[in-house]
Amino acid sequence: LHTDMHEVIGHASGQINPGVGTPKETLKQYSSVSEEARADLVALYFIMDPKLVELGVMPSLESGKAQYDGYIRNGLMTQLQRLKPGEQLEQAHMRNRAMVTHWAMDMGREDGVIERRERDGQTYFVINDYGKLRDIFGRQLRELQRDKSEGDFQRIQQLVESYGTRVDADLHAEVLERVARL
């Protein structure tokens, strides 16, 4: 359902302000990652909408919560298994997921929306408030759409470079070690 909403609603929505060039022109090398993040955020925001349950698209909002759990886990940890030690994130979809999840952690830090925990030497990320996380995803979507609509290269560059490229070397090593045992 997330993928369907990402592709059909996410990529089909949003407008550029009159007189602003295309994202390829204004956002340059960050055009793809910002568009993938925006489409993901559309899907993430709407996957927790009770209307989907009312329409029978989902059995309950527990499906949305499961998507949030998986998305956060993938963006912060799981996708790191695809990188070699010392590599940074470069692929647009990986950068997008890292940017959205790290930015969400930062935005929700004061309220403890997403918590990093360790148990038996293993790292886990726990969502403590799904409603507040949905609100964060909505704020991120609003900001990314504004940046795209206005062609704000510097803002997109700052978001991607701050949240979507760097890899925590210790967490990466842990992920690789955990995956190797599988």
Up-side HSE of residue 94: CA atoms within 13 Å toward CB? 15
Under DSSP, is residue 55 helix (H, G, I), strand (E, B) or coil?
coil
* Least-confidence region, from 8-17, 71-80, 155-164: 8-17
Each residue of 163-179: pLDDT tens digit?
A: 999 899 999 999 999 99
Average pLDDT over residues 86-112: 97
Label residue 3 by pLDDT band (50, 70, 90): very high
pLDDT of residue 142: 97
Which two three-digit tokens encode residue 110?
Answer: 């004061």
pLDDT of residue 46: 97
Phi and psi angles of residue 119, each rounded to the nearest 5 degrees, phi first: -145, 125
Average pLDDT over residues 143-159: 97
How, if at all, do strands 114-119 and 122-127 pair? Answer: antiparallel
Distance between CA atoms of residues 94 and 50, nearest Å? 29
Model-level pTM?
0.95
pLDDT of residue 65: 98
Each residue of 103-145: pLDDT tens digit?
A: 999 999 999 999 999 999 999 999 999 999 999 999 999 999 9
Average pLDDT over residues 57-84: 97
Average pLDDT over residues 36-61: 97
Which two three-digit tokens encode residue 102?
Answer: 């790290």
